Amino acid sequence: MTNSATPLAATRAASAPGSAPVADGVNAHSRTYEIRTYGCQMNVHDSERLAGLLEAAGYVKNDAGDADVVVFNTCAVRENADNRLYGNLGHLRPVKAGHPGMQIAVGGCLAQKDRDTIVSRAPWVDVVFGTHNIGSLPVLLERARIREEAQVEIEESLSVFPSTLPTRRESPYAAWVSVSVGCNNTCTFCIVPALRGKEKDRRPGEILREIEALVAEGVLEITLLGQNVNAYGSEFGDRAAFAKLLRACGEVSGLERVRFTSPHPRDFTDDVIAAMAETGNVMPSLHMPLQSGSDAVLKAMRRSYRQERYLGIISRVREAIPDAAITTDIIVGFPGETDADFEQTLHVVREARFSGAFTFQYSKRPGTPAATMDGQVPKQVVQERYERLVALQEEISWAENRRQLGRTLDVLVAEGEGRKDEARQRMSGRAPDNRLVHFGLGTEAEVPRPGDVVTVDVTYAAPHHLVADGPVRALRRTRAGDAWAARQGRPAGGSGVSLGMPTVGRPAPVAVTSGCSTRS
């Protein structure tokens, strides 16, 4: 463990002229916080834990831009991740100068990687903590305040499983549930295993107890989360553990939707496909990272599967679950990728017919084997290939969405999913296959609440969403909608919802960078 302190008195004087030390008697109970999250779903989940820890310590959430404590939960996957962090820290420097007592904390993967570098480059930072000790944040903030020196604490292995920590969940109707942390893979483009550590699995009973507690609070949908979610069970020697967990979720009364992200093709077995097909509340959606369609590139990436195996998985999923929507991750321009290799990626995209794809131009990441490989592809070549891939996937996504025209869908109403909803008198939500659906409100007396379920007919298809502008066929009030209403301070049975809706909601798909912790 690294546990160091850097005097802040001099650096505060240098970096924040005119600022005063924190007054005696200031405590967490009069202080506010803001958390800025970058990267993958695991970071989003960790931020909910950080918020819970701070609120348990008496802090109050404040996203207005003038919080007393600003926490950066960072990602280290992309090449420019550190530039983005230091740019944001630089913008906060004058803000802190005019805000006596303000504190800045940096955590997450970049903090785990850079450690003391952060304080040396940005001496106005008060706390640096890693991926393995997020539970230490309130104590480190208080220690930095009292001692007036930066606190840097990085642990090399997990001290407390994050799911045992307090949480402040953004959504009352959908929740992340972590089944494992860490990753045992050695992909040459990915730095995450070095920062998150080896895979650590929770026991099934502990996971199910958390799910049952969430359902009791009104949650209808859970997403099982792990860096390599279908490798779950490897730590306690049960290769069938993930399929068993999916089936056990099907026995939880009141749990209507189960999703998971992200699996790895190497570990994706037929028992998982059977569990998906045979468990009523496991949704017909699957995120299956491809990364490349070329066997040669997959070998260089150390991906331990090849094109034939990947397409075989897709075929078996479609056979068992015909309506499944399958998404993926693809990296363009990995070192050594030739035109022929790239054509193999396009071939897989045409064959798999993904409903959507997170596509990335390869980005060097110091500390990964790929960063020093021969055959780095020129930027202009990568850009041209990337544009061709995006154009092909857009064409396929649109065609796949047009196949939904006329279908009747049950949509779990969300908040914050449609930026133009208010102007267009619409609300938005997710179909069972996770497609985004914008639906018209019409003249119905009752307006759905986030967490309620509406039945609608699809009338229009775009590449990235569906529209249902006809009348809502049915509205089902749910406990999740009641929980949402309670958060707003409204009666559970209230019929109105302001269309100036907040911009937080269900755990939405995060366009994370390739190689990130939940994109296997």
Known binding positions for [4Fe-4S] cluster:
40, 75, 109, 183, 187, 190
Q: Is the peptide bond before 178 cis (omega within 30 degrees of 0)?
A: no
Q: In angstroms, how far apart are the furthest CA atoms of the chain?
A: 68
| Joined tokens for residue 259 | 């999703």
- Helix (H) / strand (E) element for 54: namely helix 41-56
Instruction: Give residues with Cβ within 8 angstroms of 498, minimum separation 6.
Output: none
Distance CA 105, CA 127 (A): 4
- Cα dihedral 392→397→402→404 (10° resolution): 160
| Joined tokens for residue 282 | 């496991």
Q: Annotate 331-388 with DSSP letters as a single string.
A: EES-TT--HHHHHHHHHHHHHH--SEEEEEE----TTSGGGG-S-PPPHHHHHHHHHH
Closest Cα to residue 85, out of 145, 126, 133, 37? 37
Report the side by side order of strands in the sheet with 221-225.
Answer: 174-178, 221-225, 257-261
Question: How far is CA 225 from its chain centroid?
Answer: 9
Task: Report which DSSP code applies to 162.
Answer: G
Question: How far is CA 287 from its chain centroid?
Answer: 13
User: ∠ at Cα 220 (217, 222), nearest 5°?
Assistant: 100
- Helix (H) / strand (E) element for 109: namely helix 109-114
Distance CA 372, CA 366 (A): 8
| Joined tokens for residue 295 | 């066997």
Distance CA 325, CA 327 (A): 7
Binding residues: 40, 75, 109, 183, 187, 190
Instruction: Give residues with Cβ within 8 angstroms of 490, minimum separation 6.
Output: none
Q: Which amino acid is present at 449?
A: R
Distance CA 505, CA 503 (A): 7
Distance CA 3, CA 20 (A): 26
**How many Cβ atoms from other residues are within 10 Å of residue 246's Cβ?**
22
